Amino acid sequence: MSPRSAPSIRLVRHATLLVSLSETTLLVDPMLGAAGSSPPIQNTPNQRPNPLVDLPDLDLSYDAVFVTHRHNDHFDESARERIDSDVPLVVHPDQTAAFREEGFTDVRPLDGDVAVGDLTLSPTPARHGHGDLAAAMAPVTGATVTDGTQTVYLAGDTVWYDGVAETLESLTPDAVVVNAGAAQFLEGDPITMDADDVRRVRAAVDDEVPVVAVHMDAINHCLLERDDLRRAVDGVETPEDGAVVHID
């Protein structure tokens, strides 16, 4: 079990997070391979091996794992090898069987409220791109994570659309995490949030609520870098790998 810590979100790398509330730490979207251990995502700009950077040197203690979807930059071969087979693993309902076939024994489909330790996860809608491309990239989910006192909204791999807007309208989150990077193929629009999308999220929540943008500077087709986003949008947290954002 992870040690008790102050409520926080730690960016590990890309979309890999450690979300700690009460006495439970949730590992989100583990991509744990060494730099350059995976090929570039094809049909994309910037053909460099992935990940572009190595993991920071930090403690990866956690109590449960949440996987928003099975793309390699959210659950890679190293994660399959390193994560204990009996860890509570919360996943998109349509991908439950695939994880069980890989030998995980405590797979919990996020088709409603799911309890892990002190936390309850609930699914939120996500759209991984636009038009036909979004359909091709599905399925994917977001989630709210709460200990009954504080709530973190993990938007997942999604662009800004009605589902995200309606989720934010219905919530009073204590923090919001968005997957930015404007990930893109050679054709079509971005499949994760660009600067305009992040700006819309920032405008949709109270000023005191931290909006944390991750999913940058680690995968070859994520063309929006942290420095770009910092220049484009005010009032958004853009942590470096390994950094912690505390939740008041």
pLDDT score, position 14: 98
**Distance from the Cα of residue 121 to its chain's centroid:** 14
**Average pLDDT over all residues of the chain:** 96
Partners of 24 in the β-ladder: 21
pLDDT score, position 6: 77
Structure-token match 């890989």, residue found: 102
Domain range spanning residue 58?
8-237
* pLDDT tens digit sequence for 84-103: 999 999 999 999 999 999 99
Q: Indicate whether 190 belongs to any domain.
A: yes
Cis bond upstream, residue 49 (ω within 30): no
Residue 1 has pLDDT above 60, yes or no: no
Q: How far apart are CA 137 and CA 44, in angstroms?
A: 15
Please count the structural domains in the chain. Answer: 1
Residues present in the chain in total: 248
Q: How far apart are CA 23 and CA 100, in angstroms?
A: 27
Residue 31 CB neighbour total at 10 angstroms: 24
pTM over 0.95, yes/no: yes
The phi, psi pair for 66, rounded to 5°, reads -120, 125
Q: Indicate whether 66 belongs to any domain.
A: yes
Percent of the chain with pLDDT over 90: 97
* pLDDT tens digit sequence for 38-90: 999 999 989 999 999 999 999 999 999 999 999 999 999 999 999 999 999 99
Q: Indicate whether 242 belongs to any domain.
A: no
pLDDT score, position 190: 98
> Which CATH number does the domain housing residue 29 bear?
3.60.15.10
Q: Indicate whether 27 belongs to any domain.
A: yes
